[in-house]
Amino acid sequence: MTVSENNAKIIVVSAPSGCGKGTILHEVFKNTDAFYSVSCTTREPRDEDKDGETYHFMDRAGFEKIIAEDGFLEYAEYADNYYGTPRAQTEQNLAAGRDVILEIETKGAFQVKEKVPEAVLIFILPPSVKELDRRLHKRGTEKEDVIAKRIAEAVGEIEKSYKYDYVIMNDALEDAVADFETVLKAVKLGDSSADRFRADSEYSKKMIKEVLDNA
Ligand code: 5GP
């Protein structure tokens, strides 16, 4: 993939389910003209999904055709379904000088970083694994065995968060949104104002450890 000559960036956002990633991004998008990349997936639409808005829904044959045409910037299998980022819309927006935000899981995030090292990876942490478990139970949309599987997946993803560029804790929504915007601004300006959120800072390393220890 060609790197854009302007300052437009790919911003990758990952978080285990139940971390409030959707809510944070909803707030962030009120103040940015970045492009939200709509992914393709083979999973069944949920009630709240709108084809073409939340995802482009398709069958496996359709998805595999796009893979064969090299039409994805990245793709991965997650919970028995394919998910992928269409390449063309990302490239067109970057070429037009617009930042592109990808909301994807960790395997896809690392593929993007390998292809586009300038991409910025942000991981959203829950306050603790225990709190994540509480939130998933409160949401009540999943059965006990599915919750257990999602918690196990979440722990695996949190363990990889130190390889991201930035980590943000979603304890209080307002703070998480402000922190996210601080990171976006620092990325655009190329300054050090968000360095405390860097995944390799002592502060972040301690935070990641505490989230995992509090399981
Ligand atoms: P859900 O089925 O709950 O909508 O999404 C499941 C997971 O797939 C989430 O972690 C979400 O961020 C991730 N995901 C969504 N779109 C993509 C994509 O295009 N590529 C990858 N690798 N993951 C995605």
Amino acid 6: pLDDT: 81
Q: What is the pLDDT of residues 67-107, one digit of tens each?
A: 999 999 999 998 889 999 999 999 999 999 999 999 999 99
Q: What is the pLDDT of residues 12-22, one digit of tens each?
A: 999 987 788 88
pTM for the model: 0.93
Output phi, psi for 137, to 5 deg: -65, -40
CB neighbours of 50 closer than 8 A, spacing ≥ 6?
none
Work out which ligand 1 atom sits closest to the CA atom of 111.
Answer: 22
Q: Which of 180, 206, 205 is nearest to 194 (CA)?
A: 180
Amino acid 5: pLDDT: 63
Residue whose CA is at the smallest distance from ligand 1 atom 24: 104
Amino acid 214: pLDDT: 79
Cα(103) to centroid(ligand 1), Å? 7
Ranges of residues in the chain whose predicted pLDDT is under 70: 1-5
As a whole number of angstroms, the distance between CA 104 and CA 119 comes to 13
Residue whose CA is at the smallest distance from ligand 1 atom 14: 104
178, containing H or E segment:
helix 173-189
CB 83 near ligand 1, within 6 Å: yes
Amino acid 4: pLDDT: 52
Output phi, psi for 56, to 5 deg: -95, 110
Amino acid 145: pLDDT: 87
Cα(148) to centroid(ligand 1), Å? 19
